[in-house]
Chain A
Amino acid sequence: DTAVSQTPKYLVTQMGNDKSIKCEQNLGHDTMYWYKQDSKKFLKIMFSYNNKELIINETVPNRFSPKSPDKAHLNLHINSLELGDSAVYFCASSQGLAGGPGELFFGEGSRLTVL
């Protein structure tokens, strides 16, 4: 059983298109995240949801819209794709603790290529 699963694994699309990435976790965690890993392999937080509520929204263009229908799912929709959006997007989940995130569990990543 995959703990955190995200689909699709690969996305190749033209500039200006809209695309979505889906994420599901079966760990019972209350917090889910989207991270972006750029071409230099640097990981950066984009969004965090706790029990379906947005708690962290880093300075991400509003072309990116996360949606959490329930605490086991966190989807990412991207409008009007740009070349600079090409990256690997990782979904993750953890149990939130008082001092910060608990152990993180990552999805396999979704490699987005914008042509």
Chain B
Amino acid sequence: KNEVEQSPQNLTAQEGEFITINCSYSVGISALHWLQQHPGGGIVSLFMLSSGKKKHGRLIATINIQEKHSSLHITASHPRDSAVYICAVPPIQGAQKLVFGQGTRLTINP
């Protein structure tokens, strides 16, 4: 069964800093998901990636399938980036469900 570990659990930074959140998983997968949960509670999908790198605006996600590791980076962080970031993977290849990391709570101070 796939275990998903994120680090750090909490991260506080100043506006403008470069942010990195890490995710490790234990079983081979086809794709990894990064999600963002706003302080208001809503959850949005940021990325779904199976290899290499993807970029949306100031957010960049990378994945190393061999090392079973993914990172989420935020460049020029802003207080509106404050949220919980969650990575998720299928527990086994092909399973139509996800298991979630415990989340990383990011706070960006002005």
Contacts and interface: CB of A to CB of B under 8 A. Distances in A.
B103 A101 contact: no
Given A42-B102, A55-B96, A88 B41 contact: yes
- Contact-residue size bin, chain B (C-beta under 8 Å from the other chain): 20 to 34
B41 A108 contact: yes
Contacts of A100: 29-31, 89-90, 93-98
Contact of A96 (B42, B45, B96, B103): B96
A31 B33 contact: no
A105 interface: yes
Interface of A: 31, 33, 40-45, 48, 50, 55-56, 88, 90, 92, 96-106, 108-109, 111
Given A33-B97, A98-B94, A108-B41, 16 more contacts: A41-B37, A41-B103, A42-B102, A43-B86, A45-B99, A56-B95, A98-B30, A99-B30, A99-B93, A101-B90, A104-B33, A104-B45, A104-B98, A105-B45, A106-B43, A106-B44
